[in-house]
């Protein structure tokens, strides 16, 4: 799939109209119709969720995919679920977000020099995209990175899935992936050569499985984003 978007705004619009993966289209629209009981009064977004943040971001944040009753409901990445509560609090604490909560795409939240995106833009069943869905959707992320090249200086990747999905996308966008390939781990830090020097940082995903068990604490998350902001020149 070749993406012809010339601006980030155009890319976001095209992402939200994508119907390339039949299984994901069926699932996201089914969830938007059935809804969760606590959100029965809401109109779900029910479409692919575009990236969120300025078009001249110096720092990228890459997750996995929208949550069925989070981004798929609200229309914004990491918004309307507990994973997002943890993430945006940390971004706010280190000065990268204008407010500590993200509840809906029209709540006034803005990010400073930071853009959040994902290798898969549709909510997948059981939070598990197939390799084919990941690769198809990767064309969007490749183009997004192409458009961010002039300003992007660091990327925080949340979780091993995002890490493995991002490496070939970075290669496709012109960055050199060293051999052996960079290994994911919390606190992992690699410097990639390419269009501009890019700092690649690993962080445990902000899933409830990690945050409720203490595998990922707020302090750990703040430390990662403090370092990332400094590397991206955002302090």
Domains of the chain: 8-231 (3.40.470.10)
Omega before residue 142 within 30° of 0, cis: no
Gyration radius of the chain's alpha carbons? 16
Rounded CA-CA distance 193/196 in Å is: 6
Beta strand 198-203 with 189-192 is antiparallel
Rounded CA-CA distance 44/31 in Å is: 8
Element (H, E) at 192: strand 189-192
pLDDT tens string for the chain (235 positions)?
778 899 999 999 999 999 999 999 999 999 999 999 999 999 999 999 999 999 999 999 999 999 999 999 999 999 999 999 999 999 999 999 999 999 999 999 999 999 999 999 999 999 999 999 999 999 999 999 999 999 999 999 999 999 999 999 999 889 999 999 999 999 999 999 999 999 999 999 999 999 999 999 999 999 999 999 999 999 8
Interval 146-178: pLDDT, tens? 999 999 999 999 999 999 999 999 998 899 999
């Amino acid at each position: 799939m070749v993406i012809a978007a010339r601006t980030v705004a155009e890319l976001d619009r095209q992402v939200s109209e994508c119907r390339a993966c039949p299984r994901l289209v069926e699932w996201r629209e089914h969830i938007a119709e059935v809804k969760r009981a606590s959100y029965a009064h809401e109109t779900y977004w029910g479409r692919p969720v575009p990236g969120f943040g300025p078009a001249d971001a110096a720092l990228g944040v890459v997750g996995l995919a929208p949550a069925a009753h989070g981004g798929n409901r609200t229309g914004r990445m990491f918004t309307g679920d507990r994973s997002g509560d943890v993430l945006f609090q940390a971004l706010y604490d280190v000065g990268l977000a204008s407010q500590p909560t993200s509840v809906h795409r029209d709540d006034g939240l803005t990010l400073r020099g930071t853009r959040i995106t994902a290798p898969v833009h549709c909510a997948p069943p059981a939070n598990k995209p197939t390799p084919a869905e990941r690769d198809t959707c990767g064309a969007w992320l490749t183009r997004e990175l192409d458009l961010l090249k002039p300003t992007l200086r660091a990327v925080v990747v949340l979780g091993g899935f995002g890490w493995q999905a991002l490496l070939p996308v970075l290669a496709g966008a012109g960055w050199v992936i060293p051999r052996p390939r960079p290994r994911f781990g919390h606190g992992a830090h690699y410097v990639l050569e390419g269009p501009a020097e890019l700092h690649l940082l690993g962080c445990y995903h902000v899933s409830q499985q990690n945050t409720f068990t203490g595998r990922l604490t707020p302090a750990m998350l703040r430390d990662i984003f403090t370092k990332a902001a400094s590397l991206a020149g955002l302090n």
